[in-house]
Amino acid sequence: MNFIKNLKIRDKLLLLLVVLLIPLLFFLITAIFNEIREKDQLLTVYETLEESEILSGVLHQIQKERALSQAFIASKGTDFSNEMEVQRQNTDVAVNRLRQFILGNNTLSEEMQMLNELPVFRNQINALRLDSIRYETFNANIREKLVERMQSNVNTISDEDVRGPLTAYVHLVYAKLQLSRIRTLMTQALAAKVFSYQDYGKFEMLKAFFSEELSRFTRTAPPGILSLYQRKLNNGNYQDILALHAQIEKNPKVNLGRLDSETWYNKYTGTIEQFKEVEDYTIGQTKDLMQEAIAVKNRMVIFYVGFVLLMMVTAVALSAYTVRLIADSLQVLKTASDKVSSGYTDVSIPVHSEDEIGALAESFRKLVHKNIQLLRLFFQFRVFLLQLLLTHFKFLLRSLQLLFLLPQFRINLPEFFLLGFQFFGLVLGFV
C-alpha cells in the first residue's frame, strides 16, 4: 500500500481508471466473443442448409435422368433421346456443384465415389444394353445415402425455427422421390399397356410411401410453406395423377394402352417440378431466416466493437483531460506555495473551479491576501517608527544630555551624533 500511497496524484487517478475499466472491458469482450461464437454456429447451420439444398438438387436431376433413361430404353432408343442428353447436362451441373461444395470435406466422399459410376451406366444406356438390376441398385443407393445425409443434417440442428422447416423439406424431398419412382414405373407400364403383378405391388408400395411422406410434410411444414404447397398442387396435372392412381387401385388390370405415355410423362414431370418449387421455396425461406440471423449477429459484433472503441477513446480523452486538469491545478498551487515561502507577494493563482481544488485555491488566495495586508501593516509601522524617531530625536538628544550631563563631564557632539545614528540604525534593523 505504501507504493500506492507514494504515487503521484496523476498516477493514482490513472490507476483508478484502469481498475474501473478492466471489469467493463471484460464483460464487453466476453459479449463480443459470445456473439462471434453464436454467429459461427449460425454459419454452420447455414452451410448445413446449403448442403441439403445441393443434395436435393442432385437427387432431383438424377431422378429426372433415370426416368428419361428408362423411357429411352423402353422405346428402344426411338424417343426421348434429345431430352435425355439435355438432362444429362443438368445432372452434371448439379454433381459438379456438389463436388465444389465438398472440396476439402471428406464427409461425402462415399457419395461422390458412387456418383463416379454414372458415366458407366450412360454408356450402357446409349448402347441399349443397360444392366437394369445394377442401375436400379445404383439409384437406390444414391437415394438412400443422400436422403440419409439430409436427415442427419436435420438431427444436427437444435433451433426449432430452422429444424421444423428443414424436417418438412426432407419429407417433401422424399415424397417427390417416391413420385419420381412412380413416374418411372408408370412409363414402363404404359409402354407395356398393362401392369404386371410385380409392378403393381411396387406401385402400391411407392404410393403408400408417397402418401405417408406427404402426410408428414403437411404436419411439420410452417403455415406459409403449406399454403404455397396447396396452391401449387391444386391444379389439373396433380389431380389427374391422383385420379389415375385411384383408378389403378380400383382395377389393377385397367387397360393403359389408351393413355399416351408422353402426355402422362409430362404430367408427372410437371407435378414433380411443382414439388421442386415448393422445396426451393422452403429451403430459400429457411436460408433467408438464417442470413437475417447472421446479419443481426454481424451488426451486434460491429456495435460491440464500436462501443468498446468509442468507450476507450472517450475514457482516455476524458481521463487525460481530468488528470491533467487536477495535476496542473495542484502544480499551480505548489508553485504558488513555493513562491510565498520564498518571500514573494506578487503570486498569481489562475485556478477557478467549483470543486475542492477551486476551494483550496480560493483559500490560498485569501492567505496570500492576508499576508500582503500584514506586510503592508508592517511596513507602515516601520515608516511610522522612523517618523517618530526623526520627530523626537531632538527630544531624545536633550534627554540624553540631561541624563549624562554632569559637572565634570562635557559632551563631544560629533561623537554623540555618531552614537545616535548608530542607535537609530540598530532600532530600524531590529524592527
For the stretch 285-317, pLDDT in tens is 888 888 888 898 889 889 888 888 888 788 778
Q: Residue 42: is its pLDDT beyond 90? A: no
Least confident stretch, 111-115, 173-177, 380-384: 380-384
Q: Residue 352: is its pLDDT beyond 50? A: yes
> By the 8 A CB rule, do 296 and 168 touch?
no
Look at residue 362 in the predicted model and tell me its pLDDT.
Answer: 74
Q: How confident is the model at residue 106 (pLDDT cuts 50, 70, 90)?
A: low
Average pLDDT over residues 419-427: 54
Q: Residue 355: is its pLDDT beyond 90? A: no
Look at residue 215 in the predicted model and tell me its pLDDT.
Answer: 92
Least confident stretch, 20-24, 73-77, 382-386: 382-386
Of the candidates 241, 204, 136, which has an alpha carbon nearest to the alpha carbon of residue 196?
Answer: 204
More confident residue, 393 or 356: 356
Least confident stretch, 129-133, 201-205, 224-228, 393-397: 393-397
- Grid coordinates of 211: 402418401
What is the rounded CA–CA span in Å between residue 402 and residue 145? 142
What is the rounded CA–CA span in Å between residue 368 and residue 422? 35
Look at residue 407 in the predicted model and tell me its pLDDT.
Answer: 44
Q: How confident is the model at residue 160 (pLDDT cuts 50, 70, 90)?
A: confident
Look at residue 421 in the predicted model and tell me its pLDDT.
Answer: 56
What is the rounded CA–CA span in Å between residue 94 and residue 60? 9
More confident residue, 431 or 325: 325
More confident residue, 243 or 342: 243
- Grid coordinates of 294: 447472421
Of the candidates 339, 393, 333, 380, which has an alpha carbon nearest to the alpha carbon of residue 358?
Answer: 333
Q: Residue 420: is its pLDDT beyond 70? A: no
Look at residue 312 in the predicted model and tell me its pLDDT.
Answer: 79
Least confident stretch, 22-31, 105-114, 187-196: 105-114
Of the candidates 372, 313, 377, which has an alpha carbon nearest to the alpha carbon of residue 346?
Answer: 372
Look at residue 431 in the predicted model and tell me its pLDDT.
Answer: 46
Of the candidates 269, 182, 165, which has an alpha carbon nearest to the alpha carbon of residue 217?
Answer: 165
What is the rounded CA–CA span in Å between residue 304 and residue 139? 51
CA dihedral 97, 99, 105, 108 (to 10 degrees): 100
DSSP state of 387: H
Of the candidates 245, 286, 288, which has an alpha carbon nearest to the alpha carbon of residue 264?
Answer: 245
Beta strands in 192-339 (DSSP E): none
Average pLDDT over residues 192-220: 89
> By the 8 A CB rule, do 291 and 43 touch?
no
Average pLDDT over residues 116-120: 90
Q: Which residues of 391-407 are buried (b: 16+ CB within 10 A; e: fewer)?
A: eeeeeeeeeeeeeeeee
Q: Could you tell me where the DSSP H helices lie in 75-117? A: 81-101, 109-115
Percent pLDDT > 70 in the chain is 82
Look at residue 406 in the predicted model and tell me its pLDDT.
Answer: 43
What is the rounded CA–CA span in Å between residue 142 and residue 147? 8
Look at residue 89 in the predicted model and tell me its pLDDT.
Answer: 94
Look at residue 114 in the predicted model and tell me its pLDDT.
Answer: 84
> What is the chain's mean pLDDT, rounded?
80
Look at residue 417 in the predicted model and tell me its pLDDT.
Answer: 56
> By the 8 A CB rule, do 81 and 44 touch?
no
Look at residue 91 in the predicted model and tell me its pLDDT.
Answer: 93
Look at residue 404 in the predicted model and tell me its pLDDT.
Answer: 55
Q: How confident is the model at residue 409 (pLDDT cuts 50, 70, 90)?
A: very low
